[in-house]
Amino acid sequence: MTAIPSDSEIASAVESLFSATANCERINRWNALVPTDKQVPVLPPQGQKHVSNVPLREAEETFAFIHDIDALLHRLSSTEGRIRMMLVGYCHIMESELIPSLIWNQLRLLHCLEPSWRFTRTTKKGETRACWLPKDKYAEINRLAQPLSQPIGNIVSAVWNGSLRNDFNHSRYFLSGTYVLGSGGLSPISRSGAFRTGHSFRFDEVRERYRAAKALMSGVAKEHANACKNYK
């Protein structure tokens, strides 16, 4: 298992990224902070952009959801119950779109690319494709971060675990002892290949991934808010 970064390591990487874009052209940076939509039914006048509040409202809901989960965690005495709630929280944060989109747009600025609110990736054939899945978003972030020596690429790669997300979101797991056991091809019901075991995750790893996901979410929200203050 890749070492899961500490809260301070996550905060430092996020701060480093947003600090690096602080001196970018002012309008470009603003466009990398505020979501816009080029496909609304009624387009704004020429030369103007439609600001979309949807990503921000989604992010607010994610914060409220995680706040409720944390409140519930304080009331749960069952270890298994707490792990289940942390799995819900971890997947909810890592599936959310605004946080990775903000990171991606800061990296685009550093590559002298225009900000974009349609999260895309470039295929091996040079085609531009929308990133529908979180694994594609985090892979694209890492791809852009590495040439810049921005630690945020390694951070998101370490916090994200696609196997844990898939096992939980598809209900292909069960709790046993101190492990979350991915059932893989153990069940005959929807087995698509050979009989095989799935992945396993210690409860401590789930706790750490939930902690790290919250730190990433909070860190980006903090730096985003600070950056926006410069425009008020």
Q: Give 9-46 pLDDT, tens digit per residue.
A: 999 999 999 999 999 999 999 999 999 988 777 777 77
- Residue scoring higher pLDDT (204 or 194): 204
Model pLDDT, residue 162: 96
Query: Please, what is the Cα angle at 85 between 82 and 89, to 5 degrees?
Result: 135
Q: Decide if 13 contacts 218 (C-beta within 8 A).
A: no
pTM: 0.93
pLDDT, one tens digit per residue, over 90-108 is 999 999 999 999 999 999 9
Query: Residue 164 belongs to what domain range?
Result: 7-35+51-229
Model pLDDT, residue 91: 98
32-41, 55-64, 92-101, 217-226: lowest mean pLDDT where? 32-41
Burial class (CB in 10 A: 0-12, 13-18, 19+), 24: middle
Q: Note whether residue 40 is domain-resident.
A: no
Q: Note whether residue 2 is domain-resident.
A: no
Q: Note whether residue 111 is domain-resident.
A: yes
Q: Note whether residue 41 is domain-resident.
A: no
Q: Note whether residue 44 is domain-resident.
A: no
Work out the pLDDT band at 232, boundaries 50, 70, 90.
Answer: low
How many independent structural domains does the chain possess?
A: 1
Q: Note whether residue 128 is domain-resident.
A: yes
User: Can you tell me the mean pLDDT for 97-126?
Assistant: 94
Q: In what order do the strands lie in the sheet with 179-182?
A: 173-176, 179-182, 200-202
Q: Decide if 98 contacts 120 (C-beta within 8 A).
A: no
- pLDDT higher than threshold 90 for residue 48: no
Model pLDDT, residue 149: 97
Q: Note whether residue 191 is domain-resident.
A: yes
Q: Note whether residue 129 is domain-resident.
A: yes
